[in-house]
Each structure stands twice: as C-alpha cells, then as structure tokens.
Amino acid sequence: MSGPATWRDPPHRRVSARARLRPKSQLTLPEEIRRALNVREGDEIEFTVREDRTIAVRGYVSVPADHAWLYTPPEGALPPNEEPVKGQEGSIHESTDAMFTHLDMLRAADP
C-alpha cells in the first residue's frame, strides 16, 4: 500500500474513477483521484467546466496571506515556459568589474 502523494512524486499519466452524487450534491473523491490531485482533507478542489462540457479538476492549496511572499515570483521573473523577449537576453560576467564595464558600455551606447 503506497502512502499519500507528495510534490516529489511524478505526475500520473491518466487516472479514471467514478463516484455517485449523494444527497445535497455531495461527492466523495475516490482515493486514486485524491492521490493523483495530491489533496487531502481541508484542501480545496477547483473545477473548470470547458465549452465541450468536460471538466478539469485540480487540487488547490490556499496560502495564508502572510506567507504569500514565499510563493510570489521576484519582480521581472518570467512565467513558466515563457521565452525571454528577443534582444533582452542576459549576460554572464567573470567579475563585478566586468559587469560594470559592460553596463557602462550599454549606457554610453544608449542615445
């Protein structure tokens, strides 16, 4: 018997299960679905109904407001899978002096 899924577990390829809607529109997520979504009691579940009437479901863990800074990307960070804007590539320098020399050259070249 395997333990609960963790963020280190590889994503599941395809998991399918059925559940019956109970009175008051209650639904119990089957264990294999809970494991695939990596959710447990108290976590939120987000449902998105698509135009073709299929539903995307994902686990959603709320973060306390005073911890949000831990999960906020730094200013100017690129969203996942986004390429840098052409012409704005970074550069690597062997020392801080080399970096400042490079910045001075860029400033002098900027009209």
Q: Helix, strand or coil for residue 21?
A: coil
Integer Cα distance of 57 and 48 in angstroms: 6
**22 band by pLDDT with thresholds 50, 70 and 90:** very high
DSSP 90: -
| Cα–Cα distance for residue pair 88/35, rounded to 1 Å | 42
pLDDT at 8: 47
Name the one residue in this structure whose structure tokens are 């009437």.
53
In this prediction, residue 25 carries a pLDDT of 92
pLDDT at 66 over 70: yes
Query: How far apart, in whole angstroms, are the C-alpha atoms of residue 86 and residue 84?
Result: 6
Q: What is the pTM of this model?
A: 0.45
* SS3 assignment, position 60: strand
Q: What is the pLDDT of residue 87?
A: 63
Sequence ranges of the domains in the chain: 1-69
1-69: what CATH class? mainly beta
